[in-house]
Structure 1
Amino acid sequence: MKTNQQLHLLMPKYILVLCLLFMLAACKKTEEKLSPTERPEYGYSVPQGNNNFDDRIVAYHKRWGTYLLYKFNVQDFTWQITGYDKYYKSVGSNEAYINQQLDLLDNTFFKYYQDSTLTKYLPSKFFLCSSLTFQNKRVDAFALTSTFIGGYESFAVNWGNKGILNISSPIDSVSIFRGNVNYSFLKIMNLKGRMGMSDVFQSITDYVATISPTAPATNPTNADLYKRGFLGNSSISTPSNQTDWYSYLQVILSNKYANLINPATTATDVSAKGILSPVKDVNGLVRRKYDAMIKFYKEVYNIDLQKIGDGL
């Protein structure tokens, strides 16, 4: 017969066994009740329809892993980790013009990057829009504003509407769209920390000293800017290295090389015309920074910026 002391020692073991048996029974009961949910899981998939352009969209997804979406809601478009974007508004592309919109992207955007580059850098959500605005102003793509907000892991482009049939006016042209969409994409990649900046480019210019050489309280002239290696139309404060990088990036992507070297300009002209000519680039700093940026994108990312600018 077991003593009281022996029983006392055995009690924890009995309790442990009983607990294990209870847990096994509970698990078995839970497993028996499991059944697949009838509600589809949240996510993205293509095709979104059965049109001929849906086949093209599926092919893009197979090549790059990104979802080109023309059907989406506000949450899809504006969601960020910290909340929802309040400034960008969009409407999905009109299906009657999506083929033309994809043609536009093929000819102005996709063709300039290797498949491996797009696979690595394209955001997972690529919104095709018939209307895209930032603070009620129309834009061609995300990130064409001074401060990019936009949604998480997403990119958006405009022109999925009947206007695409006549992109030929001075303010709405294929060349303007080409510069804007590529600038937007590469700017986002930099802002998100996916692509960097050239150390050589940043070492050429002094980002501390004020621009105006004689009177810091006086707005610098465009000639002052060019002498220091900055592009025209800057503020009185010296641009940051990132702001300077974006200025060069946008100018290169939006201009033919012939325009950049055109000497038929003046040192007071704020446009990109002749920024690589001695008329504006009196100290050769603009050329050095231009060369550094071109080399950086070619060697690190296999992207030819000037080829995009030239529309080749």
Structure 2
Amino acid sequence: MYKLTYITALIFITALMVTGCKKEGALTASEDEQGYTLPQGYHGYDTTILDLYNKYSAYFLYRFTDKDTYWTPTGWKNATLNSSGTWNTGYGVTRADTNFISSQLALIKKLWLSYYTDKFLVKFLPAKVMLCASVDSLYTTYVFTPTFQAINADKSVGAWFNYDNICVNYGNAGVTAMTSGDSLKFLAKTNLIFIQSIPGRNLSAPTNDFTSVANYNGTFSSQANAYAQGIITIYYNGRSAQLDWNAYMEAMVSRSEANLKKSTANTDMTYMGILNTTKDSNGKIRQRYNIIRNYFITNYGVDLQAIGNAADK
């Protein structure tokens, strides 16, 4: 794994710390089995990054390699051109501009970390948070002139989860000129990505009382049948208590409570209206919703619905 330190560099850093060359005061280096060393530099925000590590054991990195972010045990996740002439879906990032990391960290604290307790963050933050100048979703699209060909298109996003890390955008000049709309999109995307990463790392499993409400052995001919059982995942896809647990978490952080209660046709397969009797004909969705919402409030002091209420405006 990529190493951020060498013996000579450590000696030099130690000398600087001893002689007090920096006005910020001495920073304590930290290193564990991940192989990263903090601080990565001697900017004012390095103290903030070290504080975050000491609180949550998560590395907020502005120096990282392609392997650090794209590699997984099942392969690299950056978009590449395959033998058929199309691009596989993936993502691309660039490292944060060091001139804007202080503002980026303030943004992360305000619109992401502030919605969670320390207990929640210690448990669920990934090993690495990559501080990026750009985070792009990459996918194949097609052009027809002058010749038909597949090209790699991109869409800027606020954050992206991969294996053991979350890449976060806005380590660039744009962080100083964000509109209220920009902030809302960042809040919604970053928190959704964080919540999706939790079951993605096998860190949250359904409780027995949640699982016992629904019958997963039946045959469902429509989405309305699934809703009647308290199942909010798409009825013709694979079904399980774990998938529903994940879906309820997503629903809470991506939709306001008002929109979850909005009357919506029971043929609709989105989270909109899942708490209204039009979809929740037997009250099982509300029952399961309350179980999972109260679980995170009781065990971690976090109301996931508060995030959806802030993000879905």
Q: Which has the higher helix share?
A: 1
How far, CA to CA, are the matches of 2:202 and 2:212 in structure 1?
20
Counterpart residue type for residue 302 of structure 2 = I
Aligned to 2:55: 63
Q: Deviations over 1:276-312 (max 9, x none)?
A: 1112211111101101111222223332111222239
Deviations 1:121-155 (A, max 9, x none): 32332111122245445443334xxxxxx24x433
Provide the residue aligned with 2:166 in structure 1: 155
1:199/1:158 CA distance change after superposition, 3 Å? farther
When normalised by structure 2's length, the TM-score is 0.70
Local SS of the residue matching 1:132: strand
CA contact (8 A) 1:202 1:241 kept: yes
How far did 1:230 drift?
Answer: 2.9
Structure 2 equivalent of residue 250 of structure 1: 250
Q: Does 1:73 align with 2:65?
A: yes
Q: Partner of 2:160: helix, strand, or coil?
A: coil
Q: Which residue of 2 aligns with 1:8?
A: none
Higher strand fraction (1 or 2): 2
Q: How many angstroms does 1:85 deviate by?
A: 4.0
**Aligned residue runs from structure 1 range 105-120, under 5 A:** 105-120=108-123
1:142 matches 2:160: yes
Residue correspondence of structure 1 range 68-107 to structure 2 within 5 A: 68-81=60-73, 84-86=76-78, 87-107=90-110
Task: Normalising by structure 1, report the TM-score.
Answer: 0.70
What is the CA–CA distance in structure 2 between the aligned matches of 1:52 and 1:38, rounded to whole Å? Answer: 23
Could you tell me which residue of structure 2 aligns to residue 230 of structure 1?
A: 231
After superposing on structure 2, the runs of 4+ consecutive aligned residues of structure 1 that deviate more than 6 Å are 39-42
For structure 2, the 5+ residue unaligned runs are: 1-5, 11-30, 79-89, 140-153
State the percentage of identical aligned residues. Answer: 30
Paired with 1:82 and 1:274, the residues of 2 have a C-alpha distance of: 37
Contact kept, 8 Å, 1:175 with 1:254, in 2: the verdict is no
Distance across 2 between alignment mates of 1:211 and 1:181: 34
Instruction: Determine helix, strand or coil for the equivalent of 1:206.
Output: coil
> After the TM superposition, which of the residue ranges 237-246 and 249-258 deviates more from structure 2?
237-246
Larger Rg: 1
Greater Cα offset, 280-289 or 187-196: 187-196
Distance 2:107 2:172 in 1: 12
Q: 2:158–2:185: 8 Å Cα contact kept in structure 1?
A: no
Contact 1:108 1:311 in 2 (8 A): no
Distance 1:85 1:266 in 2: 37
The 5 A counterparts of 1:1-312 are 43-81=35-73, 84-86=76-78, 87-136=90-139, 137-138=154-155, 139-143=157-161, 150-151=162-163, 153-164=164-175, 165-169=177-181, 173-212=182-221, 220=222, 222-231=223-232, 234=234, 236-263=236-263, 265-311=264-310
